[in-house]
Structure 1
Amino acid sequence: MSDRVKTYTLPEPYSRQKLAALYRTLPISDDTIKLLRKYLKAMANLYGVIPLDKVYEIISTQNPGLLTKAEFAQYIMVARHEREYFDIFGEADEYTGARFETSLNRQLVDWQLLEIFAKVKAYQADKPYYIPEKKSCSGITIRIMRNRHSRARS
């Protein structure tokens, strides 16, 4: 019998002010933080569930030298406390008794899929990731976000 019990424990959501103060402590520029946030929103919308190591791989491929893996991990530790459009979630957040996870051994999850993320992850299995060209990404993000906002208000 397994000692793993489902819990869905997420980190405490922080206010915009607290998040801004924490982001200022990171060794990353404000422009890079804004860019990372756009990437996370776009990837949550596009993939639903995507491992953070894949997120870093895509970002660093499209933006060579933007930030190190350690800097990205520091950013993720703050971004986990955001509660807009995405959550950063892993096995340790889903089960009591799960193994400890590093900050990048988690998934970026569209907030609407959090309850079924394990099913989505299983469905995705080893399917390849579609990666749009960098120049086309920002327009897609804006359109998706506008559509989501208009549906939420209806």
Structure 2
Amino acid sequence: MMNNSKRPISFWFVILFLALSMVLFIMGQTMAILNYEFAVSIGLQEDVKEVGEFGKQINRAFGASDTIIYIPLIALSIVGLFLKKSWALITTAAVMGISAYWATTVAFLLWFLIGVPTYHFIPGPEYWVFISAYIVFGIWGLFYLIFRGDQLISTES
């Protein structure tokens, strides 16, 4: 048995994913609302020359949704998991569901937009790795929370 101060490796895996996601989404998604060109300059959004003005606004809409819903849920999840609050399992499940859904939507957008006039973006392998990681992590996270989530907040391990 572990003492109360030790956390399972899954806890740190989830926390790392959440923390990295929060930083990436603040820099890429929130910044896309405030200063799209800056988000492009740091490689976290696509240039208007590649996605068109319509694509830029779609990216900004995702950014707004992520800023209003996804990022606060991530922050609440991190805090709640550290504090071992049962409600953190609900917010973390929401984050996992959004992660899988968001990444799947982006994957299909990239596929369906091929050949659309003014859309010239061709994602490199790094996009597919990133998208796949979010889909896999989101699905894994949901199943983990369903079957073993209580271990993330347990006072006994």
TM-score normalised over the length of structure 2: 0.32
Q: TM-score, normalised by structure 1?
A: 0.33
Which structure shows the higher helix fraction? 2
Query: Which structure has the larger Rg?
Result: 2
